[in-house]
Structure 1
Amino acid sequence: MYTHVLIPTDGSEFAQAGVIHGLSLAKEHGARVTAITATEAPGGQFAYSSDLWTLGETEMAAYERDQHREAEAILAPVKASAEQLGLEIETVHVPDRRAAPAILDTARKCGCDIIVMASHGRTGMSRVMLGSHTAEVLTQADIPVIVFR
């Protein structure tokens, strides 16, 4: 039924539930896997470079190297687990993007037919203040999304 599973992860314990179930689903269906992590640009969602201090070239290069290393550290165990299961896997790091748009764009570009991800289970004010990447993916995806908590 499924031929290409997208598994987003931020490397957290919460995200691991989605990884495990995504790999299991891929194994069950003989599907390929794309694992993705996204890293945001420095400054946060409410900072504008014209209003605040910005990173210089050296600091920005160091930040980008650190984000790349972090992404590799997040994706390497997913890749190893997939390979142990005999699954074909590609890993993708999307830099300087919020997670939800990166997930949705990657699903489209890679031709994935399902997204399997975890939810941190935030509710109430923490969800409003922090936003919910999972909710954004759920409401905007044009393919099925399985969410694990």
Structure 2
Amino acid sequence: MFRNILIPTDGSPLATLAVDAGITFAKEVGAKVTLFSVMEPFHFFSADVEQLGSTREEYEALSRQHTAETLAAAQIKCERAGVPCETDQVRSHEVYRAIIGKAEEIGADLIVMASHGRGGVGALIIGSVAAKVLTHSAIPVLIYRKK
């Protein structure tokens, strides 16, 4: 049923667990995987600690490095599991749209991603990328949440 799985990751510990679960699932069903990261552009006004202490150039370089390391580590996991995979990254202000767009572009039949489980006011203020993907995607989404 599932042959082409998109696994978005930001490199966070929970996203890494979702990557691991997605790779295991892909192996079990014989699917290929696309590992995908969306880098948010530098914002002059931000609550993101990494952006507050950096110049645009520093932030962009650190962002590219972090994303490359995250995707390389996930790709190694796929190779060790014998799961065919590709990697890709983009820069976008709208992470959820980039994820859905990539899934559509590659013809994914499933998106596997983490949810940090923010609820209430936190979800209203910060917004949940996972919730937005669930709401707007026509492609099935499997949400991984830590127990």
Displacement of 1:62: 4.5
Distance in 2 between the 1:44 and 1:86 partners? Answer: 43
* Pair 1:86–1:44, CA change in 2 (3 A): farther
Gaps of 5+ in 2: 47-54
Aligned residues: 139
Q: Any residues of structure 2 matched to 1:24-35 within 5 Å, and which? A: 24-35=24-35
Displacement of 1:25: 1.3
Distance in 2 between the 1:114 and 1:135 partners? Answer: 15
1:146 aligns with 2:142: yes
Q: Any residues of structure 2 matched to 1:49-128 within 5 Å, and which? A: 60-128=56-124
The amino acid that maps onto 1:33 is V
1:7 aligns with 2:7: yes
Contact between 1:138 and 1:145, CA under 8 Å: does it hold in 2?
Answer: yes
Distance in 2 between the 1:109 and 1:45 partners? Answer: 32
Distance in 1 between the 2:36 and 2:43 partners? Answer: 22
TM-score, normalised via structure 1 length = 0.85
**Larger-gyration structure (1/2):** 1
Contact between 2:38 and 2:95, CA under 8 Å: does it hold in 1?
Answer: yes
Distance in 1 between the 2:119 and 2:45 partners? Answer: 20
Percent identity (aligned): 38
Displacement of 1:77: 1.2
Moved over 4 A (4+): 59-62
CA RMSD of aligned residues (A): 2.0
